Amino acid sequence: MAALFLKRLTLQITKTENNCIRSCWGKYVVQKMAPAQPSPIASAPRPSCLTYAKAFSTEDTRDEQKKKKKDDTAFSNIGRKISERIIHVLDEQGNDLGHMHRATVIRLMDERDLRLVRRDPGAEPPKYQLLTGAQIHHERLRLRELEKAKPRPRPTLTKELTFSSNIGQRDLDTKTKQIQQWIEKNYRVQITVKKGKSAEEPESKTEDIFNQILQTMPGRATFSSKPQPIRGGKAVMCVLRPLSRRKRQCLQQLRGPQEETL
């Protein structure tokens, strides 16, 4: 009886072990055949470390340099931002206070209610002046008026005129007047004279026309480009320009004594 019980117990244990092995093997095979699932921890996006970086551009650098240069040359109150330790100081009356420590300058500004402006940043040490707010305002207005009074060079424009060497005297006089008006307005005038088809026309006729036009404007115009052939010799071109103010004054001074002697 005991032997039969042991036999059944052995069979039951063997069957249980086989079931366990089969179950574990089946799960292993299913996991191998199924596509791999990413781990929730591994697939989680990593938080990026955000840092501020200023974009670099050559244009931005040039703009900053221009702005800095403008600020350095501008006449304005710099406040308490004195970068130099020792500076040369003038008071509001223009009196020389000598070299002073920036802390002393700031104390003077507070005691006398004054502002500090740059006078000569390139000096050694840099030169500054203490001024009142009203003095700074009047100085800005004065500098603005001086800037407006500066003569601004205008771009030189060129007018073009073309006609034939067979032109009549009346038409030539009309074109000469037009050229004179342009010269008075400080225009350059490019004149092109086409040679006539007549074989009897002298070679110097076109140059004579240019000289005739120029002689009507003594002391006012000259050749910027002397007559030269173009278009394979079929035309001659020159450029007239107005004389500068200095040259006009010199010519007038030279003509004065000559007219007195006459």
The per-residue pLDDT for 189 is 93
Indicate the SS3 state at residue 67.
helix
By the 8 A CB rule, do 209 and 175 touch? no
The span from the CA of 116 to the CA of 84, in Å, is: 13
Question: Number of helices and strands (H, E) in the chain?
Answer: 8, 8
Residue-wise pLDDT for 122-171, tens only, equals 888 889 999 988 988 998 899 888 888 887 766 678 899 999 988 999 99
The per-residue pLDDT for 30 is 47
pLDDT top residue among 65 and 228: 228
Per-residue pLDDT, averaged over 88-113, amounts to 90
Is the backbone peptide bond immediately before 125 cis, with ω within 30 degrees of 0? yes
pLDDT top residue among 53 and 100: 100
The span from the CA of 115 to the CA of 135, in Å, is: 10
pTM, rounded to two decimals = 0.41
